[in-house]
Amino acid sequence: MKVQPREPGGFAPELNELLVRRAQRIRQKPAEAEDENLLWVAEFPVGEETYALPLETLRAAVPLKMVTPVPLSPPHVIGILRFQGQIVTALSLASLLGGRGWREDPAVLLVVDPGFGRLVALDCERIPKPSGLPQAQVAEARARSSGATCEITLAGTRQVNLLDLLRLMDRRQGQEKR
């Protein structure tokens, strides 16, 4: 069966140009999707900025409820909660990052495995979105950074701060020891 155009008279030139661009993009997509050189991350906002953490470290996103505050704890500790039978510490990410502003009161806790054999929970304003960051750019940014985050500038000058959870926790522990 031959496919007939829906608009027998054809499209307006600008519309046609848009459709061509879209088609090109779609044709490119499989190639991108097959690209294994991406680091899959969970992306979320902290105030005005965008942060991300490797998807492999994310165990769950749970509502910020049923957290028991811990009097006398360091200020970056929001409290403790139960997660799959474990008692997990909930930490304020903005506080860990040295005091950032925020747009909405965090309503989500990201339960993450920083890689030292136990889980911690970090607060978050919204449920994160999965996205891919080019591995090459990630490697380059990591090499440049010695801190808990490394800045990755994507097409369209969009900037993502990729978190290094181990460094983030180490830095906090170091500050506490001092």
Partner 1 sequence: MMDPLLENLLAGFVDEAQEIYERVARSMMELEKAPAQGPSFDELARGLHTLKGSAATLGLEELADFAHRMEDVVLPLRGSSKPLPARLSDAVLKSLDVWMAHLRAIAAKGQLPDLAPSVALLETVKPDAPVPAAAKSRKKKNGKGPTAAETLAERVARAPEPEPPAAPIPAPAEDAQADSWRVTTRQVIALLHEVERLREVRLRIEERRREIDKALQQLDRLGIQAETAEARSVLLGVRRALGADGEEAADIVASMEDGLKTISTMPVRTVIEPLRRAVRDICKATGKQAKLAVVGAEVSLDRRVLEQLRGPLVHLVRNAADHGLELPDVREARGKHPEGALAIRVEQQGNMLFIEVSDDGAGLDLEQIREAALRRALVPPEELANMSTQQLHQLIFRPGFSTKMEATEYSGRGVGLDVVRNQIQALQGQVEVQSVPGQGTRFVLTLPADLGSSPVLVVRCGEHQLGLPMVAVESSRGARSKDLRVGRSRVQLEHREQLIPVQDLGALVGLRQPEVPAEGQPLLILQSQGRTMALSVDEVLGDRELVIRPLPVEIRELAAYQGAATLARGELVLILRPDFIVNTERRADTGLTSTRRALVVDDSLTARALHRTALETGGYLVHTASNARQALEQLRHSAYDVMVCDIGMDEMDGYELTAAVRQRVETDSMPILLVSARDSENDRQRGLAVGADGFLTKKDCVSGRLLSEVSSVIARRKGAA
Contacting residues toward partner 1, per CB under 8 A? 47-48, 64-89, 91-92, 94-95, 98-106, 118, 120, 123
DSSP sequence for 85-138? TEEEEEE-HHHHTT----SS---EEEEE--SSSS-EEEEESS--EEEEEEHHHH
AA identity, residue 119:
L
CB of 126 to partner 1, least distance (A): 13
Which C-beta is closer to partner 1: that of 11 or that of 102? 102
AA identity, residue 145:
S
Of 150, 152, 151, nearest to 167 (Cα)? 150
CB of 72 to partner 1, least distance (A): 5
CB of 118 to partner 1, least distance (A): 6
Residues 6 or more apart whose CB falls under 8 angstroms from that of 19 comprise: 11
Which C-beta is closer to partner 1: that of 74 or that of 130? 74
Which C-beta is closer to partner 1: that of 40 or that of 116? 116
Q: How far, CA to CA in Å, does 174 sit from each of 21, 121, 166, 171, 178?
A: 52, 19, 12, 5, 6
Which C-beta is closer to partner 1: that of 58 or that of 169? 169
Which C-beta is closer to partner 1: that of 73 or that of 153? 73
What is the separation of C-alpha 9 from the centre of its chain, rounded to a whole number of angstroms?
46
Of 154, 148, 160, nearest to 122 (Cα)? 148
The residue behind tokens 């969970």 is 42
CB of 77 to partner 1, least distance (A): 6
CB of 150 to partner 1, least distance (A): 21
